[in-house]
Structure 1
Amino acid sequence: MYDYYLGGKDNFPADREAAEKIIAIVPEVRETARDNRAFLGKAVRLMAEQGVRQFLDLGAGLPTQENVHQVAQRVDPEARVVYVDSDPIVLAHARALLADNPHTVAIWGDITDPETILKDPEVVERLDFGRPTAVLVSAVLHFVADDRHVSDIVTTLRRPLTAGSHLLISHFYAPDLDDVKVLAGQQVYRSTRPGALVARSFEQIAAYFDGMTLLEPGLVPVRSWRPDNEIDELEGIDLSRPALIGAVGRLP
């Protein structure tokens, strides 16, 4: 569905049908998907420019333009990237794309079992958690229904990180969890592979970064994270309606 929102062609009829139902409820969802992709790219570039040379991208999704390894390796060709996804189609595409890239790999992994991901031989071989590492969890945690489980996932992913490491999260947010559009969208997602779409509060999402220093402008709608144009900048930060919000935290 995310690929379809982005205008890609690697999706199935069931994906398109569900995505069109979401578009009917939230017409701006395509723009939100593009904004999230831009947020990820800007953040990865910033982290790479600040000296991060290792990236773990969880729930990476289908390869598209400006992938994490392309952005990071533009800063340093030897930057290491591990993509993780549970979809075999995603992995097939990613492995084909990365066949000639010695510093990047795609592995199978389930975000709901982060301990197994961290112990995966490819992760252990390529990433040295004794050095600054970026963990990227872009638009995936809202597919995990249980709040406690999500907190445990983030805690586990943060555990091996050393000073100077970064955590990127974008997540579906709603100021009113009973908003009619939120409930309608959740109903659509119940019939999809993830089986859930959970809106969480600003406070819940902010708690994932406890003890970290948030890079400016903090936790905001992804469209408002270091906007590239004056129009978006003038719009300011609006947390009065449902949105995909994101932040990048740094371990001091």
Structure 2
Amino acid sequence: MDFGALPERLAHVRAEIARRQAAAGRTGPVTLVAVTKGFGVDAVEAALAAGVTDLGENRVQEALQKLDAPPLAGRRVAWHLIGHLQRNKAKHVAGRFALVHSLDSVALADELDRRAAAHGATQRVLLQVNMAGEAQKSGCTPAEASSLARHVAAQPHLALEGLMTIAPFTDDEDVQRRTFRGLRALRDALQQEEGLWLPTLSMGMSADYGTAVEEGATVIRLGTVLFGPRTTERAGEETVERERGGGEDPA
């Protein structure tokens, strides 16, 4: 595929981030995670050439194929796992990803901790919270977040850094804003009540990242707005992925 428009798209996104931050009176860095799921290694190479250093994947198998691709050997890449993680895949994840955005249960936390220990690593993680209560999506409930955060923070080989959420797939900006504002409020409450330091809010994708930035996102996960639409076949799969709790929007 031709990714020649990527530098221009990146510039537009960065300008929009600055505009939204200024409008909301916010400052501080926003990490842009370029989501390459559904695209090949050429998309990764194009992103790196354009100055992107943080890349995201939803599926463990697809991610590992890219991590191990010869053209990427020795390249400076921070890989983010943003999709739902099953316990039986934790062994492939611990110690290989800079940040796991989708920790959502005690059982998964225990497995990731065990696997990270085996690698002599500390795995950085975010709690995925299902703020909108959508039955088809992964993530703990807001009510479960406090006890889960305490458990994760107590694991010796996990580093809890913040929270992640996915807003409902809607054009209603009020719904998006309530979701993102709710995650920020939950983070603030956890910091105050549990004595945790949770600087990272991973929220906002191609269709809603501007609103997320206004509400305090420190990480946004962008795919189609950078790389263009995926193929029709893949787009159908991505719609299902998002409904199950995948971390970036369908094409």
> Given the two structures, how large is their TM-score scaled by the length of structure 2?
0.34
TM-score, normalised to structure 1's length? 0.34
